[in-house]
Amino acid sequence: MAQVISTEKIYAAEAVRPSSWTSYLPAILAIVGSLGMLLLRIEIGQRFISDGALMMIALACYIFAALFQLTNLYAPSEMARKIGLWSAALGVFFNLSSWLVRWVGAYDWEIAKMRASGNMEQPWVFRYIPFANLYDLSLAFAFGAGIATLLLARRRNFQVLAAFTLPLAALILTLARFIGGEFIDLPPVLDSYWRPIHVGVASLSYGVALVCFAIAVIYLLKDKAKVEAMAIWSSVFGLAVIATISKFSVLTELIYRSGIFLPNDGGGKPFSAPFRLEVPWVGEALVIAAILLLGVIVSFLVYIYQQNETARSVGHALLKLSLVAQVVAIALLIGGIRGMGDVPAKLTSQLAADPSQYVTAGRALAERQQLSAAEYAALSPIQLEQMGRQYVQMNGERLYLSLNTNPVEVAGLLTALAGTFFVILFAFRTDKLRERLPSLKSLDGLMYKTACLAFAGLAMLLITGAIWANESWGRPWGFDSKETGALVAWLTYAGFLHTRISRGWTGRSSAYFAIVGFLLVIFTYLGVSYLLPGLHSYA
Amino acid sequence: MSAVKDTFEAKVLAKSSAKPVLNRSVDFLSSVRFGVFLLIILVILSIVGMVIIQQNVQGFDSYFASLTPAERTVYGSLGLFDIYHSWYYNFLLLILSLNIILASIDRFPTAWSYLVSPKVKATKDWLLNQKAHSSITLTADTEADAAEKIKALFESDRYKTVITESKTTEYGQNADGKKDFSNVITRRQLTVFGEAGKYNRLGAYIVHVALLTLFIGHFVALQSGFDADVRMIPGDESDQIQMIQFNLDKRERFNVQLPFSIKTTDIQQKLIDPKGSIDVPNTLDWRTQIKITDPEYGETVADVSLNKPFSYRGYRFFQASAITMGSARNIDLQLTSQADGSQKQLSIPRNGAASLPDGTYVEYEEFLPDFVFGAEGKPDTRSGEYNNPVAVLGVTPPGGERTRVFAFAGNIAENIPVGAPKLGYKWRLADYEKSPFAHVLSIKYDPYNGAFIAWYFGGIGLMAALVFVFAFSHRRVWAVIEPNQFGSYAATIGGDTNRNDAAFEERFAKMIDKLEK
C-alpha cells in the first residue's frame, strides 16, 4: 500500500484557494431578490416603486460600494470590504429589479393604451422586454458590469475590482438617467424573439468588456505605469469632450448651448428642437477647464520626456485645478438648465442677435424630412431660414430646457470629471495602492479570461444579430453603423487574442488592446446611436 | 546589443534568407503576425466606412449634397461611399481568408500530433522546469504500487492516464566528481501520464473553419442572388419584381422576371389603437396574404408577416414597408331606407361585394381617406390621412344599372349630389378597418441558401466553437517515479496547459493537496 511521506510544492500560481459556494451568495441573493421584486410588482401593480426610482437607488449603491472598496484599498478594513461587497450586491439587486419592474411597466403602459381604444388583443409578453431603446440597454449594460464584478468578487483578492468597475457602472446609469426612461412605441420590426437574445447578449458582453477594461487599468497601475501618463490620456479625453460638445461651440465661440425639447402631445418622449440655447457662464468655465487640462498635458509631457520635476509638480497642481474647474462647469450647467426661466423669450433674443441660427435649424429640419440630394441642394439659405422661423412661430412658446436633452454631453463631462478624479486619487500614495492590488500575473490571467468572454460574447452578438436580420428582412449583414462598430470591437479583441499567440504580447501590451477594445465598444454603444445614421438609431 | 543576441539574430537572418522566395512568401502569408496586420487594416477601413455615410444608408442624399465637389470627387474615386463593396475591401477579406487557411494548414500538424502521439514520457529535469510542479516522497511496496497511487490521483481529477515504463541512461561520476563516460548507468523509470480535453487543441481550427464557412456562404449568397422590392396592392397580380441598385445619390431600378406570378389577396395592418393612425409607432404588425400561381407547381397561398417571412423556390418574401395612403381592409355600411326609415347593416371586404336582402348588389370600388373634389370636379383625396373618409361603391339594383354611390363616415349635406340618397337608401360608412393602400415586400433570391449556410452553419458553428475553445483546456500532467536511497519512492509531478495557466495551477495545487490528505 502506498503512502505519502512528504511533498514539496512549487506552484507558479498565487496561493489562492477556490472559494466555496457561499462566495456566490451576493450574486445569487441579488438575482433571487430581484425576481421577488418582479413578483411584488405584478401583485401590487402600479403603486409599487417605479423602475426609475429603483435605478436611482442602484446608482447610489454602486457609488457607495465603490467608495467603500476604495477605502478598503487605501486603509484596509474588513468592515469596509464587507460593506463594499454587500453594497455592490444591493446595487445589482436594485439594478436588475429596475429592469424587471420596467418590463411589467411597459406591458401595463401599452395594454392600457390598447384597452382604452377598445383593442382587446393580447400581445406576447416578450414584446415588452426592456430592450427597446438606449435607456433599457444602459440598465442592462450596468447590470452586466455589476454581476460580472460580483462573480469575480467571490475571490477576496479580486474584490478590489469593484472600486474600478462600479464607478463605470454608475456612469452608465447616470447616462440612462439623462436619456430618460419614458416608454416608447416599439418599432414593429423589434417585436421578435431574437431581440431578447441579441440585446441580452449585447448587454452582458458589454458588461464583461467593461470589467476587462477596468482590469487593464488596474494592471497598468500595478505595472508602475506613470500616473502622469494616465493623466495625459484622461486630459486628452476631457479636452476632446469639451471641444466637441455643443456642436464645437465651446472652444470656437466660448459659449455652451444646450439642446431644447418640444413636448410630445402623445405623452411619449419629447422631441428635440433644431435649436440650442446658451446657458450662461458654462462656456467660460469649460474653456478654463480646457486650458488647465492642456496645461496638464504639456507639463506631464515635459516631465516624462525631460524628467523635469518642476513640470511634474506644476502638472499635478493644474490637474487638481482642472478638477475644480470641471466641477464648477458641471454645476453651472445643471444649475443653468434647471434655473432657466422663459425659454421662448431667451431663444427669441438669441436668434435676433444671430439670425444665422435659423438657417442651421432649417438645415436640420430639412435633413429630418429625408429629401433627395437634388431637393436638398435646391434649398436656398432664405428658404432654410424661413423653415427655422416657421418652426419657432409654431412651437416657440412650448419649448423648454431639460438635462435630458443632452445625455451624451452630460455623461461625457461626468466621465471626464471621473477620469480626472481617479487619476488624482491614484497619484495619492501610489506605491501603497500598488502593493494592495492583486499580482500582475493574476491580473493578466483575469484580463485574458474576460477578454475571451468579451470576444465570444461579441461574436454571439454579431451572429444573433445577423440571423435576426436574415429572418426579418433577408439581409443578414448590411454594414450598418452599429453592426460595423460591433465588428470592429470584435476584431480588436481578436487582435488581443492573436497577438498573445504570435508576439507573446501579454501584460501591458494586452492591457492597451483591452482598453482600445472597450473604447470601441463604448463607441458602438453610444457614438453610433447618437452620431451616425443607421438601422440601430433607436438603440 | 549583447554578442549572444547578435549571433542569434544573425543565425535567424541567415536561416530565413536561405529559404526560397516562394517559401518565405508562404511563411509570411501564413503568419499570425500578418493576420493581425490584416485585422488592423480591416478595422481602419471599417471605421472609415462608419464615419463616411455609405450610399445605401438613409440620410446619404443630404450628406452627399453637403459635400464640396472636391470631396465628392476624392471620396468617390477612392470608393469611400461604398467602401464595403470596393475591390480593395473584398481583396482584403480574400487575403485574410487565405491567411486563415494557410496559418491553419501550417499549424495543424502540430495540433494533430497532440491527439495521435501524446507525450507520454518525461524526464525529472523537464518536469521541474514546468510552472506547476511538485516533488513527493511516498512509501509503497513496489514502484508499480507508487505509480498506481499517482494514477488514481490523476484520474480523480478527470485525467485519462497511461503508465509507461522506460529506461534512462546516464553516466556515473569518477573520483573527481566529473562524468565518467565509461560508467553507463541504466535505470528503469515509470512515467504516469494524464491528459484531459485534448480535443481543445483543435478548437482554433474549428473556429476558423466556421469563419470560412460564414465568409463563403455569404459570398455565394451575394454572387448568386439578388434583392428586390414588390408593391402589393390587393387584387394586383404580377410576375415581375423591381430590383434597386444604388449609384451614389441615384437609385436605378430594374425589372426582374419571376418564374411564377404573385397575386395580393389581402393586406392587413394590426394597430395598437385601431382608431389611431397607420403610422409605424401605432403598428403591431403588417400581414400580406399572397397567392402564387406557378406553371410548374400550381397554386400556393401564403401569409407574410413582419419577422415571419415566407420561402418559395429559393425566393424569400419579407415585409419591408408600406405605402401609408389610408385605405380600408373592410367597410361596415349603414343603409337607411327612404321608404320606411328602416336600417340595414352591410359589411364588405376590400375589393369584395355583398348583396342586400332585396337583391341589390354592392361592390367595394375604392376608398378615399380625405375626400375632396379634384381640379376637374371629380372625387379625389386631398391627403393620405383619414380626415374625411368615404367608401366609393358600385351598386347594382335587381334589374337596374350599376350606379356609383359614396358612403361618407362624417355628416354631409344631402343637397349635394355625392351626399344625396341613392337607389332608395341613405348610405353611410359606419365603420372601417384601417389599412394602408399597399404593402411593399422585399424579395430575396438565394438559390443555394448561401445566407442560411453562412449564418446557421458558419455563425452558430462559430459560437459553438468559441464555447468549445474557451470553456475548457488541454491539461497534461506527468509523474516520474524513481526509487530513492531510503527505500521509498520519489515522484516528480509536473504539468502544463494550453490555456488559462492560473486556473490550471490552482487545480494542480488542489490535486497535490488531495494527495497529502
What is the tens place of the pLDDT at every residue in A472-502?
877 888 888 888 899 999 999 999 998 887 7
Do B141 and B99 share a structural domain? no
Asked if A484 lies within 8 A of B138 by C-beta distance, the reply is no
Helix A227-253 to helix A407-426 angle (10° resolution) is: 150
Q: B8 pLDDT band (50/70/90 cuts)?
A: very low
Any chain B CB within 8 A of the CB of A124?
A: no
8-state DSSP, A406: -
Could you tell me if B348 lies within 8 Å of chain A, comparing CB atoms?
Answer: no
pLDDT beyond 90 at A189: no
How many angstroms separate the most distant Cα atoms in chain A?
A: 101
Q: How far apart are CA A58 and CA B153, in angstroms?
A: 47
Task: Grade residue A419 by pLDDT with cuts at 50, 70 and 90.
Answer: very high
Does a structural domain hold residue B454? no
Look up residue A80 and give its DSSP letter: H
* CB contact (8 A) between residue A7 and residue B56: no
Which pLDDT does position A366 carry in this prediction? 82
Torsion of CA A76, A81, A84, A87, to 10 degrees: -160
For residues B49 and B96, the answer to whether their CB atoms sit within 8 Å is: no
Residue B347 burial by Cβ neighbours in a 10 Å radius (0-12, 13-18, 19+): middle
In chain B, residues with a C-beta closer than 8 Å to the C-beta of A516 are none
**pLDDT tens digits, one per residue of B129-174:** 998 899 988 888 888 898 999 999 999 999 999 999 888 777 777 8
Nearest CA in chain A to B66: A377
Give the pairing of strands B283-294 and B250-271: antiparallel
Which residues in chain B are contacts of A443 at CB distance < 8 A? none
With beta carbons less than 8 A apart as the criterion, state whether B471 and B503 touch: no
Name the grid cell of B395. 351598386
- Say yes or no: B307 and B227 in one domain: yes
Does any CB of chain A come closer than 8 Å to the CB of residue B281? yes
Q: Does residue B15 surpass a pLDDT of 60?
A: no
Is B443 found in the same domain as B301? yes
Query: Is B147 inside a domain boundary?
Result: yes
Q: Which B residues 465-484 touch A at CB under 8 Å? A: 466-467, 470
pLDDT tens sequence across B312-366: 998 999 998 899 899 999 999 999 998 888 999 999 999 999 999 889 999 999 9
In a domain, B299, yes or no: yes
Tell me, yes or no, whether B464 lies in a domain.
no
SS3 A380: coil
B107, B140, B175 — which closes off a domain?
B107
One domain, residues B284 and B353 = no
B128 and B185 part of one domain:
yes
Q: Do A189 and B306 touch (CB under 8 A)?
A: yes
Number of H helices, E strands in chain A: 19, 3
Q: Are A271 and A264 in contact (CB under 8 A)?
A: yes
B132 interaction partners in chain A (CB closer than 8 Å): 10-13
Give me the residues of B, 158-187, that contact A with CB < 8 A: none
Q: What are the tens digits of pLDDT across the range B174-226?
A: 888 787 888 887 878 889 999 999 999 999 899 999 999 999 998 898 888 88
- A-B interface: how many C-beta pairs under 8 angstroms? 241
- Is B65 in CB contact (< 8 Å) with chain A? yes
The verdict on residue B76 lying in a domain is: yes
B319 and B334: one domain? no
To the nearest whole angstrom, how far is the Cα of B456 from the nearest Cα of chain A?
8
Please indicate whether, in this complex, the C-beta atoms of B273 and A117 are within 8 angstroms of each other: yes
Phi, psi dihedrals of residue B499, rounded to the nearest 5°: -160, 145
B106 touches chain A (CB under 8 A): no
Q: How far is CA B156 from CA B161, B507, B508, in A?
A: 11, 12, 12
What pLDDT does A216 receive?
96
User: What interface predicted TM-score (ipTM) does this complex get?
Assistant: 0.82
Is B423 among the domain residues? yes
Q: Do B505 and A485 touch (CB under 8 A)?
A: no
User: How confident is the model over A228-233, as a mean pLDDT?
Assistant: 96
3-class DSSP state of B514 = helix
- Angle in degrees, CA A450, A515, B460, rounded to 5: 45
CA separation for the pair B41, B36 (Å, rounded): 9
Q: pLDDT grade, residue B1 (50/70/90)?
A: very low
- What type of residue sits at position B278? I
Count the Cβ atoms, other than its own, within 10 Å of residue B3.
7
Cβ–Cβ below 8 Å for B58 and A370: yes
- Of chain A residues 431-450, which have a CB less than 8 A from chain B? 441-442, 445-446, 448-449
Which of B454, B463, B516 has its CB closest to that of A459?
Answer: B463
Q: What is the pLDDT of residues A110-149, one digit of tens each?
A: 999 899 988 898 899 999 999 998 899 999 999 999 999 9
Min Cα separation B454/chain A (Å): 9
- For residue B247, pLDDT beyond 80: no
The answer to whether A15 contacts B515, with C-beta atoms less than 8 Å apart, is no
Taking the C-alpha atoms of residue A391 and residue A399, their distance in angstroms, rounded to an integer, is 11
CA of A99, closest CA in chain B: separation in Å? 23
User: A379 touching B, CB under 8 A?
Assistant: no
Mean pLDDT of B371-375: 83
The number of folded domains in chain B is 4
B254 and B316 housed in the same domain: yes
A491 close to B (CB below 8 A): yes
The one-letter amino acid at B343: Q
In a domain, B174, yes or no: yes
- B319 and B228 fall within a common domain: yes
Q: Any idea what the CATH number is for the domain that residue B502 is in?
A: 3.30.310
Q: Is the pLDDT of residue B5 over 60?
A: no
Pick A8 or A419 by higher pLDDT: A419
Looking at the fold, whether B315 and B443 belong to one and the same domain comes out as: yes
Per cent of chain A over pLDDT 90 is: 63
Name residues whose C-beta falls within 8 Å of residue B42's C-beta, 6 or more positions apart in sequence: A491, B92, B93, B96
Same domain, B175 and B131: yes
| Residue B196, C-alpha cell as written in the block | 484531459
Radius of gyration (Cα) for chain A, nearest Å?
25
- List the single best residue of A1, A3, A4 to mutate versus B (max B Cβ within 10 A): A4
The reply to whether B322 and B357 lie within a common domain is: no
Nearest CA to CA, how far is B357 from chain A (Å)?
A: 31
Last residue within a domain, chosen from B55, B86, B107: B107
Please report the beta strands in B59-131, taking only residues with DSSP state E, as ranges in sequence order. none
Do A460 and B463 lie within an 8 Å CB cutoff?
A: yes
Same domain, B314 and B337: no
- A468: nearest CA partner in chain B: B307
What pLDDT, on a 0 to 100 scale, did the predictor assign at position B500?
81
Answer yes or no: do B459 and A121 touch at CB < 8 A.
no
Mean pLDDT of chain A: 89
The range of the structural domain enclosing residue B101 comes to 18-107
Contact B148/A at CB under 8 A: yes
- Closest chain A residue to the Cα of B450, Cα to Cα: A476
Closest CA to B385 of B276, B256, B274, B512: B276
Q: What is the pLDDT of residues A5-20, one digit of tens each?
A: 566 655 544 444 545 7
CA-nearest residue to B445 within chain A is: A474
Name the residue in chain B with its Cα closest to that of A493.
B39
Helices (H), ranges, B178-306 = 203-224
Q: How far apart are CA A475 and CA B454, in angstroms?
A: 12
Q: Is A205 on the interface with B (CB under 8 A)?
A: no
| Distance between B474 CA and the closest CA of chain A, angstroms | 16
Residue B466 lies in a domain: no
Average pLDDT, chain B: 87
Asked if B53 reaches chain A (Cβ–Cβ under 8 Å), the answer is yes
